[in-house]
Amino acid sequence: MVTIFIVDDETILHRLYKDVFSIKGHEVVADAYDGAEALEKFTNFDVKPEVIILDHRMPHKDGMQTMKEILEIDASAKIVFISADANVREQAMSKGAASFGLKPVTIRHMLDLVESAVSD
């Protein structure tokens, strides 16, 4: 079982990911809908989630800045970076993402991304 923190401004994706991950025996332990909320929650976790699914384009603070700040708090955080913009893949990976998914991400690919992030 993998514990997962979902950070995405699209509510429907939170529900979809939760359903899929629970079927596969993983647990979504927290949600955030923008980067600022994600940082506040991440800072206050007693036990850090094993994987963070992090969207790129969000209000208040984008995924790149959020990832930078999360990794400053915990350099070992495993971040699955998700974006509709293929051009940010290289930047996301060079700045510390464990894996990258291009939106729209298929369910199978999302599971692979999460599982590969924790197996590294």
Residue 120 has pLDDT above 80, yes or no: no
Residue 109: per-residue pLDDT? 94
pLDDT value at position 119?
87
* Predicted pLDDT at 89: 97
Q: What's the pLDDT tens digit per position in 26-56?
A: 999 999 999 999 999 999 999 999 999 999 9
The pLDDT, as a whole number, for residue 51 is: 98
Expressed as residue numbers, the domain containing 100 is 3-119
Number of domains, the chain: 1
Per residue, the 3-state secondary structure of 32-63, as one string, reads ECCHHHHHHHHHHCCCCCCEEEEECCCCCCCH
- Residue-wise pLDDT for 57-77, tens only, equals 999 999 999 999 999 999 999
- Kindly report the pTM of this predicted structure: 0.95
CATH number reported for the structural domain that contains residue 47 in this entry: 3.40.50.2300
